Amino acid sequence: MRRKILSIAAMALSILTVHAQDVQLHYDFGRNLYPDEEAGRQKVTMTVEQFKADQWGSWYYFVDIDLSRKFTEGAYTEISRELNLGKQSPFAAHVEYDGGLNRFGSFQQAALLGAAYNGHNADFSTTYSVQLMYKRFFKSYDYTSAYNSAQLTGVWSTTFAGGKCTFSGFIDFWRGEKADGHGQLVILSEPQLWYNVTDHLSFGSEVEVSNNFIYNTFNDKSFFVNPTVGAKWKF
């Protein structure tokens, strides 16, 4: 799982709040839906994410910790810094690092640099962002190679039903690279729907929709839909 939803909602709301943090716990049904293609997929993921705004812009990070009954399977993180391009401007410069470790070694690392356009509606109940970035993958372990890429990201969050429900998510498009060196379009989206029981506690679901993202050696299937059920605590 990858999260960047809190980031954009908080960026657009930065004039109202300067700090936000939450912890999420998700049970993943992917291995039940694809027992052959995703036989090794984790069933439980814990996510910690935090946003903090300052006078120049904002910091954001998340860590996804994948758990099994016997192991901590891995920890994947994204950390980013945005610098506002003017006090009232919706544009910001964006720099980001993606990477992490798993029990077999590491995830392939990447650095991103680009621009973001952040916005919101009149009452801040809906926020959105579009980011266009240069992306550099690094050779992180055997059978990977360093290469240049680009990424287009869209992020949204909207709260409705008197603040009781939140629909949020992101979609990424980037150029990946096949084992033979040829490029391919990778798509990853993770919409979430939450019911906010209190200001701190929410229950809901996330659906990971991807193409050319999941490593599958069983057959040539590249498109997957992996739903979860989860709980979230906001500090």
Report whether 7 contacts 131 (CB < 8 A).
Answer: no
What pLDDT sits at residue 7? 47
Q: What angle do CA 45, 63, 81 make, to 5 degrees?
A: 150
How far lies 149's CA from each of 6, 137, 166, in Å? 25, 7, 32
How far lies 154's CA from each of 22, 92, 168, 213, in Å? 21, 14, 11, 17
Q: Could you list the pLDDT tens digit for every one of the 235 residues in the chain?
A: 655 555 444 444 444 456 789 999 999 999 999 999 999 899 999 999 998 988 899 999 999 999 988 889 899 999 999 999 998 899 999 999 999 998 888 889 999 999 999 999 988 899 999 999 999 999 877 778 899 999 999 999 999 999 999 999 999 999 999 877 789 999 999 999 999 999 999 999 999 999 999 988 889 999 999 999 999 999 9
What pLDDT sits at residue 1? 60
Distance CA 147, CA 192 (A): 31
Q: What angle do CA 95, 134, 115 make, to 5 degrees?
A: 50
> And the tokens for 120?
């919101």
3-class secondary structure, 123: coil
What pLDDT sits at residue 15? 44
